[in-house]
Structure 1
Amino acid sequence: MSTIEKAEVLVTSPGRNYVTLRITTSDGVTGLGDATLNGRELSVASYLRDHLVPLLIGRDPARIEDTWQYLYKGAYWRRGPVTMTAIAAVDTALWDIKGKVAGLPVYELLGGRSRDGVLVYAHASGGDVPALLDDVARLREEGYEAIRAQTAVPGVPGTYGVHSGAGIYEPARTSLPEEQAWSTEAYLDHAPTYLEAVREKFGFGFHLLHDVHHRLTPIEAARFGRAVEPLRLFWMEDPTPAEDQEAFRLIRQHTTTPIAVGENLTSIWDVQHLITERLIDYVRTTVVHAGGITHLRRIFDLAHLYGVRTGSHGAGDLSPVTQAAAVHVDLAVPNFGIQEHMGHTPHTADVFRSDVSYADGMLHPSDAPGLGVEYDDEAAARFPYEPRYLPVARRLDGSVHDW
C-alpha cells in the first residue's frame, strides 16, 4: 500500500507571498496544495509544519475523506481561517495525487464536465472615471464577458480595489499595515455614477459586477442596491460584514440587486443560514480557505438545493494551485455561476507551471492528470518571503472601519 512519505511546507514570494504544501508518497507521486492566507501566511505555514505534517506521515493518501475528518475533528479547536486553510492544503494535495494515480484530471474524479469552460470576471479600475472606462475597454477587447468595476472615490485615498499603474492590484504592500482614510458618504455618492458611466459607454451586452468590500451598514447597502438596480449588476459583493448574517435579510427587503458573499467565510456552517434562508445569490467560498475540494463541494451542494450559485474568490493572493483546483470544481458542479480571475504577477509563472488557460472569457483546465500544476524549487528560491500586511481603514474621524 502506498503511504505518505514526506510533506514539505514551501514559502516563496514571486511578487506576492505564497505558502504551498507538497506531499510525496512512497510511490514517488507528488501533490500540491495552496496554503496561502494573505497577511497571515506564516501562521498557516507553522500550523502545517508544526502540527499537521507529523500526522500525515505513514497515512494512506487515497483516504481523502478520512484524512479530512481526522484533521478537522482531531484538532478540537475547529474552523477559522488558519485551520481551514491548512486542512485545505492537505486535501487539495491529496486530490492532486489521486488524479495522478488514476491518470485523470481532477474534474473527471468529481463527475466530469458540466460545462465546456468556466466563465470568469476580470477587474477593471482607475483613479478616475475615464481611466476606468479605458480599463473596461481593454478587458472587453481581451474577450471578457464579465467585468468588476471600481474607481477611487474623489478625496478619499483609501478606496478598495484600484490598482496602481498597469500592475495587478495588490493591497498587501507594506511591512506594517498602511492606514487608509475612508468616507462611506462620499463612496455612496460616487459609486453609482461611475457604474452608470460604464453602462452608458458599453451597454448591457456583458456582466457588470461591483465589490463593496464589507464597508456599508445593512441599510446603507440596501440604499446602494436600490440605486443601482437600473444598471442590472451581476452582483454587489460583500455589501456588509458577513458576521451579522441577519443583516442580509434587511438588504433583501429593499433591493433586487443580487448579493454575493463568502470569500472570508471558511466552512459550511458559516454560510448555512445565508444559503438556506436564501439571503444571498452567490456563495464566494474558495478552495484554499474553506477546507479544500472536499469541503467546498459540500458547500456548493448545499447551495444547489436552494438555488444559490457559485462565485468563488480568485484574487492574485491565491496561488495557481488554487486557481487550478477552483477551475476543476467549477467545471463539474451543476450550480456554477462565475469565477473571479485577477491573474498573477509575471514571476509567479516561474514558480508555478500551470496548464490552466484563458480564452474567450473562460478558463480551461488541461487534461493532465491531477490538477496540472508543477512547482519549481529553484525558481522559488529566488523569491524569499517578504512580510506584508493588508491595509487598515479609518473613517475621517479617525475611528477604525471595516477594510
Structure 2
Amino acid sequence: MKITDAKVVVTSPGRNFVTLKITTDEGVTGLGDATLNGRELAVVSYLTDHVAPLLIGSDPHRIEDTWQFLYRGAYWRRGPVTMAAIAAVDVALWDIKAKVAGLPLYQLLGGASRERVRTYGHANGRDLPELFDSIRARLAEGYKSIRVQTGIPGLKAVYGVHSAPDAANPTRLDQRVRPHVEDWDTDAYLRHIPGVFEAVRNEFGPELPLLHDAHHRLTPLQAARLGKELEPYKLFWLEDCTPAENQEGLRVVRRHTTTPLAIGEVFNTVFDYQTLVQEQLIDYVRSAVTHFGGVTPLRKLFDYAAQYQIRSAIHGPEDISPVGMAAAVHLDLAIHNFGIQEYSGHTDLTNEVFRHAYTFSDGHLHPGEAPGIGVELDEELAAAHPYAQGYLPVNRLQDGTVHDW
C-alpha cells in the first residue's frame, strides 16, 4: 500500500478548521486535524508546501518511522505549527491503519480500559445568578463535572465569560480583522474568585466536581495564593495557574497548596513537561492530540506521566475539530491513567461537515465502533463554508499593557 494523495481542506462552519486527508492506492483514506486557532494558514502552508510532497509514495503503515522522519528530518523541531502538521499526518495514518484492520482505533491501542470516557463541561456567567443558571444548564445536559468561569467586578470582558455580543468572534474594523480585547486586573480577580467558589459550593453542594482555569495569568506566587485560598472548596483542579514555560515556577505553587494542578494545553512536546512530571509538580497533563504531534507522541507522554501517578486530561475546546476530538476519545478509552476529557461539543453545522461516530451521553463520551477514528468529511459541504480570517482575543491590563490571555 502506498500514499497517492495528501490534500488539505480548510473550512469554516462557524469557525475555522484545517483537515488533512490522506488517500492510498487501495482507496483507503485517513483524516487528521491540523487546526491552530488564529494561525490556521501557517499550518496549511506547512502541510501543503513542505509535508505533503514527502508523503507521496510512502507506506502509510509505517507510522512511527513517518513521525520520526517529519520531526527529525526537518531539523527545525517543536513549535505549534510543526507539531500540528505532524499531528495531522499521524492521526490520518492511524485512521488508515485501523480501517485496514477493520477495527476502531482504540482496539489498536490495546483495547478499552473503561466502558466510557468521563467529561467536564463549561459554565460561565457575568455574575452569580447567571453563573448558577449556566451550571444548571450543563447539569441538565448530563455533565457530571463543571468548569466554572466568572465575570470580575470592574472588568468588561474576561476569559471564559461571554460578556460581549461578539466576544468569541473576530471584530471587523475597516475591512480588517482585529482581535477582541479583554481587560484584566489580577488583584480584583484574586479578591473575587474564592467568594465565587464559596457561593457555588453553598448552592450546589460538596459533591459536584468543580474546575477552574486561570489561563496563564498569574505569577507563581499569585498562583500559590489562589490555590491555597481555594482549598476549602475542594476543586477537581486549578488549570494553567501560571505560564508553565517556566517549569521551575510550579515548585513555588506546589509547595504552598494541595489544590490539584492541570497544565499543558499550549505544550507541544514531552520536553515541555520534563520537570513538571519528574518532580510531580502537576496532577494532569493537558495537551491536545492536534497540537502535540498526534496519537503517537501523546500516548508516550501518558505512559511517562503514569510512572508518577499523573493522569491525562486532553485539551478539547471547540477549535479542536471533531477529527481531533475523535482521536482524543479513542486514546481516553484505551490508556490506563485517564483522568477526564474536556468536551465543549460543536455546532450542528460542524457536526454535519464532520460526521462522527463518537457519542455523548450522561456526561460521558464513547468513540463508537466504526473502523478507524470514526469521522467522515463532507467535502462538498466543507467547501460551502470557506475560511474566514479571525484571531483569538488578546488581554490588556488596566493601563493598557499587554498581558497573558
TM class, shorter-length: over 0.9
CA 1:392 to 1:217, structure 2 compared with 1: closer, same or farther past 3 Å? same
The aligned amino acid for 1:242 is A
CA 1:101 to 1:284, structure 2 compared with 1: closer, same or farther past 3 Å? same
Given that 1:218 and 1:247 are in contact with CA atoms closer than 8 Å, whether structure 2 keeps it comes out as yes
Q: Which residue of 1 aligns with 2:179?
A: 177
Q: Which residue of 2 aligns with 1:158?
A: 157
Deviates more, 1:257-266 or 1:379-388: 379-388
Q: Shift of residue 286 of structure 1?
A: 1.1
Alignment of 1:167-246 (within 5 A): 170=168, 175-246=177-248
Given that 2:20 and 2:33 are in contact with CA atoms closer than 8 Å, whether structure 1 keeps it comes out as yes
**C-alpha distance after superposition, 1:49-102 (max 9, x if no partner):** 000000000000000000000000001000000000000000000000001000
Alignment of 1:49-68 (within 5 A): 49-68=48-67
The aligned amino acid for 1:170 is A
Residue segments in structure 2 that go unaligned for 5+ positions in a row = none
Q: Which residue of 2 aligns with 1:300?
A: 302
Given that 1:173 and 1:390 are in contact with CA atoms closer than 8 Å, whether structure 2 keeps it comes out as no
Q: Shift of residue 198 of structure 1?
A: 1.2
Q: 1:359 aligns with which of 358, 361, 371?
A: 361
Q: Shift of residue 179 of structure 1?
A: 2.4
Q: Shift of residue 172 of structure 1?
A: 5.4
The aligned amino acid for 1:239 is C
Q: Does 1:265 align with 2:257?
A: no
Q: Shift of residue 189 of structure 1?
A: 1.1
Q: Which residue of 2 aligns with 1:385?
A: 387
Q: Shift of residue 365 of structure 1?
A: 1.1
**C-alpha distance after superposition, 1:165-218 (max 9, x if no partner):** 999x83656521222221011111111111221111111222100000001111
Q: Which residue of 1 aligns with 2:293?
A: 291
Q: Secondary structure at the match of 2:252?
A: helix
Deviates more, 1:58-67 or 1:199-208: 199-208
- Distance in 1 (CA, whole Å) between partners of 2:276 and 2:28 is 40
Q: Shift of residue 145 of structure 1?
A: 1.0
Q: Shift of residue 339 of structure 1?
A: 0.5
Q: Secondary structure at the match of 1:49?
A: helix
- Distance in 2 (CA, whole Å) between partners of 1:193 and 1:109 is 47
Q: Which residue of 2 aligns with 1:74?
A: 73
**C-alpha distance after superposition, 1:326-371 (max 9, x if no partner):** 0000001110000000111221012100111011111011100000
Q: Secondary structure at the match of 2:376?
A: strand
- Distance in 1 (CA, whole Å) between partners of 2:32 and 2:171 is 24
Q: Secondary structure at the match of 1:137?
A: helix
Q: TM-score, normalised by structure 2?
A: 0.97
- Distance in 1 (CA, whole Å) between partners of 2:181 and 2:351 is 31
Alignment of 1:26-65 (within 5 A): 26-65=25-64
Q: TM-score, normalised by structure 1?
A: 0.97
The aligned amino acid for 2:209 is H
Q: Which residue of 1 aligns with 2:103?
A: 104
Q: Which residue of 2 aligns with 1:94?
A: 93
Q: Which residue of 1 aligns with 2:328?
A: 326
- Distance in 2 (CA, whole Å) between partners of 1:117 and 1:354 is 16
Identity over the aligned pairs, expressed in percent?
60
- Distance in 1 (CA, whole Å) between partners of 2:93 and 2:315 is 22
The aligned amino acid for 1:274 is L
- Distance in 2 (CA, whole Å) between partners of 1:170 and 1:355 is 27
Deviates more, 1:155-164 or 1:86-95: 155-164
Deviates more, 1:177-186 or 1:290-299: 177-186
Q: 2:375 aligns with which of 369, 373, 376?
A: 373
Deviates more, 1:173-182 or 1:67-76: 173-182
CA 1:172 to 1:331, structure 2 compared with 1: closer, same or farther past 3 Å? farther
Q: Shift of residue 267 of structure 1?
A: 0.4
CA 1:166 to 1:172, structure 2 compared with 1: closer, same or farther past 3 Å? closer
- Distance in 1 (CA, whole Å) between partners of 2:158 and 2:68 is 41
Q: Which residue of 2 aligns with 1:254?
A: 256
After the TM superposition, which parts of structure 1 deviate over 2 Å for at least 4 consecutive aligned residues?
163-167, 169-174
Given that 2:169 and 2:180 are in contact with CA atoms closer than 8 Å, whether structure 1 keeps it comes out as no
Q: Secondary structure at the match of 2:178?
A: coil
The aligned amino acid for 1:342 is S
Q: Which residue of 2 aligns with 1:317?
A: 319
**C-alpha distance after superposition, 1:92-125 (max 9, x if no partner):** 0000000100000000000000000110000000
Count the aligned residue pairs.
Answer: 401
- Distance in 1 (CA, whole Å) between partners of 2:404 and 2:247 is 16
Given that 2:156 and 2:163 are in contact with CA atoms closer than 8 Å, whether structure 1 keeps it comes out as no
Q: Shift of residue 398 of structure 1?
A: 1.4
Q: Secondary structure at the match of 1:180?
A: strand
The aligned amino acid for 1:236 is L
Q: Does 1:276 align with 2:275?
A: no
Residue segments in structure 1 that go unaligned for 5+ positions in a row = none
Given that 1:39 and 1:172 are in contact with CA atoms closer than 8 Å, whether structure 2 keeps it comes out as no
The aligned amino acid for 1:119 is R
CA 1:165 to 1:155, structure 2 compared with 1: closer, same or farther past 3 Å? closer
Q: Secondary structure at the match of 2:195?
A: helix
- Distance in 2 (CA, whole Å) between partners of 1:235 and 1:171 is 28
Given that 1:158 and 1:393 are in contact with CA atoms closer than 8 Å, whether structure 2 keeps it comes out as no
Q: Which residue of 1 aligns with 2:132?
A: 133
**C-alpha distance after superposition, 1:305-344 (max 9, x if no partner):** 1111011110000000011000000001110000000111
Q: Secondary structure at the match of 1:248?
A: helix
- Distance in 2 (CA, whole Å) between partners of 1:340 and 1:172 is 24
Given that 2:159 and 2:182 are in contact with CA atoms closer than 8 Å, whether structure 1 keeps it comes out as no
